[in-house]
Amino acid sequence: MPKLSYLKALNRALGEEMERDPSVFVLGEDVNHAVTNVTAGLLDRFGPDRIVETPLSEQAVTNVATGAALWGRRPVVEFAIPFLLQLVLEQVVNQAHKFSVMSGGQARVPVTYLVASSGWRPGWGGQHSDQPHGLFVHSGVKTVMPTTPTDAYGLLLTAIRDDDPVVFIAPRVALDVREDVDYADLVPVPLGSARIHRTGHDVTVVAIGHHVHDALAVAEALADEVSVEVFDPRSLYPFDWAALAESLSRTGRLVVIDDANRSCGLAAEILATAAEEMPLTAPPKRITRPDGAVVGCNPDLDLALQPNRDQLATVIRQVMKR
């Protein structure tokens, strides 16, 4: 079976969807030369009216995508780095997201905002390493963060086909993941559907983004002492609460690991919801970056600020003691 990389999966999904639906096009910086690899080969295939190189004008370009979507197109706006999503927070949350309701259902804004690499970049300073997914989840913008090539493929198709704005965040660490796949098995993945990568009966670890791979490694390492279920939401908003409730009805114990700041983060929401609505036999725990953390200033310090496998193993043991 061929090896599929995460970026190749994105490139494949995008190319196939552009082939299938002429309303799909890409807006972004350096997309002609495919600096991120996401648009590799697509300019030759589709030409400059489908792979649209933009100046460094993210706020206007994000609104341009909204306007083209209102016309009937399905734009994919590519951002190479996560802080650009913060730069266009207004254009996504206050413009694109609100057109449907403010028009009383007349308008649709099917835009995909694709961040091709998000999270910690060692040595890239304090401004390149944020994980902005929580901002969009909080705002009610559909948000996905797949962590395997097959899910990246399937969720990109779904994001493009969805009639609402969707933020698609690719965790940088997950870009290194490769999978043996049969191309025939590549299918759309619905929004709001979690994936259980490993079943277990003692504790559910909800792992966001690339931490899925950490959780799988820790689950394997602890296999003799505790049976860990690894739960990957994939779609952060809408979230598959039913699947989480089902998992917790079997394990009764919850640990969440999320490489994002602590206050008001997605991990907090998962804990709160589980505590309010789901059967827990022990108090849940979360592992996150500290409150307000700035990551990227110094590679040695950065590691102290991000969740890691040792912390996960420790917390799993703590939760098991209760």
Partner 1 sequence: MDVLREPLYRTVRLIRRFEERAIELVRTGVIVGGIHPYIGQEAVAAGVCAALRDDDIVLSNHRNHGHALAKGSEPRRVMAELAGRITGIDNGRAGSLHISDYERGLYGATITVGHGAAIATGAAWAASRDGTDRVVASFIGDGAMNQGALLETMNLASLWRVPQLIIVENNLYATTQPVGASTAGSITGRAEAFGIPGRTVDGMDPEAVLEATTEAVQRARSGGGPSLLEFMTYRFDAHHTFEYRVRLRYRTQEEIDHWRERDPVVVQGSRIPDEAREHIDQEIEDVLADAVQFAQDSPKPDPADALEYLYATGLRPRPGVVS
Rounded CA-CA distance 186/182 in Å is 7
Task: Point out which span in 57-65, 222-230, 257-265, 288-296 binds partner 1 (CB under 8 A).
Answer: 57-65
Binding mask 193-212 for partner 1 (x = CB under 8 A): --------------------
315-318, long-range: CB within 8 Å, 24+ apart, which pairs?
315/255, 315/285, 315/287, 316/203, 316/205, 316/218, 316/222, 316/226, 316/228, 316/255, 317/222, 317/225, 317/226, 318/285
Q: Any contact of residue 100 with partner 1 (CB under 8 A)?
A: yes
What is the closest distance, in whole angstroms, from the C-beta atom of residue 59 to partner 1 in the complex?
4
Tell me which of 15, 99, 262, 293 binds partner 1, using CB under 8 A.
99
Q: Give the position of tokens 């190479």.
A: 80
Binding mask 145-184 for partner 1 (x = CB under 8 A): -----------------xxx--------------------
Q: Any contact of residue 112 with partner 1 (CB under 8 A)?
A: no
Q: Any contact of residue 134 with partner 1 (CB under 8 A)?
A: no
**Which among 63, 152, 47, 48 has a CA at the least distance from the CA of 111?**
63
What is the closest distance, in whole angstroms, from the C-beta atom of residue 272 to partner 1 in the complex?
11
Q: Catalytic residue at 128?
A: yes
* DSSP-derived secondary structure letter, 185: G
Query: In this complex, which beta carbon is closest to partner 1, that of residue 95 or of residue 288?
Result: 95
Q: Any contact of residue 143 with partner 1 (CB under 8 A)?
A: no
Name, in order, each residue with C-beta under 8 angstroms of 314's C-beta and a sequence gap of 6 or more.
none
- Size of site (CB under 8 A) for partner 1: 44
Q: Strand 142-144 to strand 166-171: parallel, antiparallel, or no bridges (unpaired)?
A: parallel
What is the closest distance, in whole angstroms, from the C-beta atom of residue 252 to partner 1 in the complex?
20
Q: Of the residues 128, 133, 197, 213, which is catalytic?
A: 128
Tell me which of 14, 31, 38, 69 binds partner 1, using CB under 8 A.
69
Query: In this complex, which beta carbon is closest to partner 1, that of residue 73 or of residue 201?
Result: 73
Rounded CA-CA distance 153/237 in Å is 18
What is the closest distance, in whole angstroms, from the C-beta atom of residue 101 to partner 1 in the complex?
5
Q: Any contact of residue 240 with partner 1 (CB under 8 A)?
A: no
Tell me which of 11, 36, 66, 131 binds partner 1, using CB under 8 A.
66
Amino acid at 153: Y
What is the closest distance, in whole angstroms, from the C-beta atom of residue 237 to partner 1 in the complex?
9
Question: Per-residue b/e over 107-129, b at no fewer than 16 CB within 10 Å?
Answer: ebbbbbbbbbbbbbbeeeeeebb
Task: Point out which span in 1-9, 35-43, 62-70, 177-185 binds partner 1 (CB under 8 A).
Answer: 62-70
What is the closest distance, in whole angstroms, from the C-beta atom of residue 199 to partner 1 in the complex?
26
Name, in order, each residue with C-beta under 8 angstroms of 304's C-beta and a sequence gap of 6 or more.
none
Q: Strand 51-53 to strand 74-79: parallel, antiparallel, or no bridges (unpaired)?
A: unpaired
Task: State residue 197 phi and psi, 5-degree precision.
Answer: -80, -25
Name, in order, each residue with C-beta under 8 angstroms of 83's C-beta and a sequence gap of 6 or more.
127, 128, 130, 132
Interface residue list for partner 1 (CB under 8 A): 49, 54-55, 57, 59-61, 63-73, 75, 90-91, 94-95, 99-110, 140, 142, 162-164, 238, 241, 276-277
Residues with catalytic function: 128
